[in-house]
Amino acid sequence: GAASKGDYRHYMLKEIFEQPTVIEAALEGRLSAKSVLVESFGPDALALFKRTRQVHIIACGTSYHAGLVARYWLERYAGVPVQVEVASEYRYRHPVVPEGTLFVTLSQSGETADTLAALRFAKTLDYIGSLAICNVPGSSLVRESDITLMTRAGPEIGVASTKAFTTQLVALMLLTLSVSKAKDQAEYPDIIAALHTLPEVCQRVLALDSQIEILSQAFAEKHHALFLGRGAHYPIALEGALKLKEISYIHAEAYPAGELKHGPLALVDSEMPVISVAPNDDLLEKLKSNLQEVRARGGQLFVFADESVGIDAQEDIRVLTLPHVHEALAPLLYTLPLQLLSYHVAVLKGTDVDQPRNLAKSVTVE
């Protein structure tokens, strides 16, 4: 059943490998061959999205990272300005809500105390409406929001969120496409075609598992790691660092690669593993020069790269090549090897992968 480990050693590994299936479920009935079905968000969504002039996204932890990716997407593909904030900060500020602002919460559980409190607080402000993107039907967040979209990831038992995150990203791409369509803007048939092939491409990335397991050996004795990304892959670097911290207890930090020179480069020496995601996008050349800065300080580079980017493995650079995917969907795809990397490091370290110390699956108290 959905809540048993089957042949997997841990729930987390099972949930990582379920991603092609649950991503397909998250897309089911929500896209035609060339167009997104805006009514997937409910009968009131079209009118609400037409009126949407900006978006405020509120969440915690991994769900917050999904929100950060959505900012890049909504701004680039729907032309809508976005603010993203962690719920525990938002709820204690005095947010200014411009006219036509949609309030969006993201949550696996739908019961995270700060996110729920943020929604209740937002209802006292001048938003045009609230949307919850959530994995648990009937949760408090779902019951209390104006419109909802379920992520359909199925029960997630591992404390470290994996399939809940990638299905949130699918939902957020559907939101991006829906807002654009509702406003009579572009419909992006190229992204829609890429979404249809995404489960299969994810499957090909998961097939790299044994190579990632080999890479993980380089981390087991480390105390620190640095994750780099640019653009929509900066939040993916944040998510990679959070996974490593949570389950392997290795101190990990993520930076937008362009910030290296502004401080973190001082941390880089031959003991520091630096993990970077290098999809083939318009920031590739900039990223490559950031990686040279790391090499020049003797840092050990681990690069997850698009098959077409031409970064070759060398003594001080280990490269894992990923299949090509539409650049809009690359953040989703590049999440998978980072999940597997943390998983294998944690197993090597012998930690309690599914139930890391000090953490609860859902944080229902402040």
Give the x/- contact pattern for ligand AGP in 343-362, rule: CB under 6 A.
----------------x--x
Specify the residue, 52 or 62, whose C-beta has the smaller distance to ligand AGP. 62
Residues 81, 107 contacting (CB under 8 angstroms): no
Q: Are the C-beta atoms of residues 58 and 87 closer than 8 Å to each other?
A: yes
Where in 191-230 is the site for ligand AGP (CB under 6 A)?
A: none
Residue in the shown chain whose Cβ atom is closest to ligand AGP: 61
Site for ligand AGP contains 145 (CB under 6 A): no
d(CA 93, CA 159): 29
Q: Is 248 in the site for ligand AGP (CB under 6 A)?
A: no
Q: How far is the CB of 248 from ligand AGP (least distance, A)?
A: 13
**112 touching ligand AGP, by CB under 6 A:** yes
DSSP letters spanning 43-109: TTHHHHHHH-SEEEEEE-HHHHHHHHHHHHHHHHHH---EEEEEHHHHTTS-----TTEEEEEEESS
Q: Which of residues 156-185 bind ligand AGP (CB under 6 A)?
A: 159-161
3-state SS, residue 336: helix
**Residue ranges in 35-74 that form contacts with ligand AGP under rule CB under 6 A:** 60-63
- CA neighbours within 13 Å on the CB side: how many for 200? 7
b/e string for 91-122 if b means 16 or more Cβ within 10 A?
A: beeebeeeeebbbbbbbbbbbbbbbbbbbebb
CB of 118 to ligand AGP, least distance (A): 11
> 226 - beta bridge partners?
253, 274
Residue 264 sits at φ, ψ, to 5 deg, of: -65, -20
Residue 278 forms beta bridges with which residues?
305
Q: Min. distance of Cβ 110 from ligand AGP in angstroms?
A: 7
Quick one: which of 246, 332, 336, 341 contacts ligand AGP (CB under 6 A)? 246
Least Å from the CB of residue 70 to ligand AGP: 14
Choice between 77 and 227, CB closer to ligand AGP: 227
Residue number with CB closer to ligand AGP (58 or 202): 58
Establish if 108 lies at the interface with ligand AGP (CB under 6 A).
Answer: yes
Interface contacts to ligand AGP, rule CB under 6 A: 60-63, 107-109, 112, 115, 159-161, 246, 359, 362-363
